[in-house]
Amino acid sequence: MAEKKFSMGAVGFAFLLGGLVGASVALLLAPASGEEIREKIKTTTEETKERLREKAEELKSRAEVAREKLVTATEEIKEMSLEALEEKKRVLEEAIEAGKEAMRREKEKLAAKLKKEEAA
């Protein structure tokens, strides 16, 4: 069976939402006056909102760091690829030049051989 993966943001949000619901239910079931309960719910809601804001900022910061690392890694890979390409190009150009030189030498040998045979 396939295992589902959840992002850290989704897990964090679910955790905080569960905490908020649990705290609200606990406050509602606890013996206290309506005013006290409303104040506790308000306080808990504000605290949870603040924690969510902080978590969002933390996740945003982490995402930016990850993006910067990805950009850096991509640039490094690009540079390495270009260097490898240039090296392969240089090797190929040297091989082509060596082939041309070998062909020139063989042509000279054949021309000399023909000349020698014609003279004989």
Q: Give the rounded distance of the alpha carbon of 84 from its chain centre.
A: 22
Length of the chain: 120
Q: Give the rounded distance of the alpha carbon of 8 from its chain centre.
A: 16
Eight-state DSSP code of residue 4: P
pTM of the model: 0.49
Distance from first CA to last CA of the chain, Å, rounded?
A: 87
- What's the token pair of residue 51? 């924690």
- Specify the range with the lowest mean pLDDT, choosing from 32-46, 48-62, 71-85: 32-46
Residue 1: the pLDDT is 47
Sign for the pseudo-dihedral over CA of 62, 64, 68, 73: positive
Spatial distance between the Cα atoms of 86 and 41, rounded to a whole number of angstroms: 66
For 59-110, what is each residue's pLDDT tens digit?
999 999 999 999 999 999 999 999 999 999 999 999 999 999 999 999 999 9
